[in-house]
Structure 1
Amino acid sequence: MSDLQARFDQAQIDVKQLSERPSNMSLLRLYALFKQGSEGDAHGDKPGMTDFVGRYKFEAWEALRGTAREQAMEQYIALVEELRSGAAS
């Protein structure tokens, strides 16, 4: 397992142990970066207009199209570290 993958996996554990719930925007960013880092570019059908949460999540992931998986993993790790230190909310 690569060092980056190990750090990405640890960040997934760390994010679940945050003392405070992140803001909705931070949660959306975490979701999109996680999906891009683990699956690559968005695929599948965009959720319908009545599925607001699903649609926002898909659009956030879709906005990262073309971002390298490794870059998304690094950004996810950095965001989790910011949240752990209290720099972001």
Structure 2
Amino acid sequence: MSTFEQAVENAKILKVTPPDADLLIIYGLYKQATVGDCNTAKPGMLDFKGKAKWEAWNGRKGMSQDEAKQAYVDKVAQLVEQYGLQ
């Protein structure tokens, strides 16, 4: 299992659910790492959750997938240190 795959698993078993801001960061990094640049249309203005997620991903445009994987691993490691695992 790669360090990225381990970080994905660790993100699922944090003791505490991180704040929305941190969740959006790891969401955007995960999508950039696994898909690449955002390839979907921006959700409508009344879809607040979808819009926030889209913006978190689209804000990573131009970042390589390897850079995104490393940033994801680093962010999850910080969250594990902060909150611990179940």
TM bucket by the smaller chain? over 0.9
Normalized against structure 1, the TM-score is what? 0.89
Choose the corresponding residue for 2:81, options 74, 80, 85: 85
- Aligned-CA RMSD value: 1.3
Of all paired residues, the percent bearing the same amino acid is 36
**4+ residue runs of structure 1 moved beyond 2 angstroms?**
none
Choose the corresponding residue for 1:20, options 16, 35, 53: 16
1:38 aligns with 2:34: yes
Offset, 1:15: 0.6
Normalized against structure 2, the TM-score is what? 0.92
- Count of residue pairs the alignment pairs up: 83
Structure 1, gaps ≥5 residues long: none
- Structure with the larger RCO, 1 or 2 (CA within 8 Å, 6+ apart): 2
Offset, 1:49: 0.7
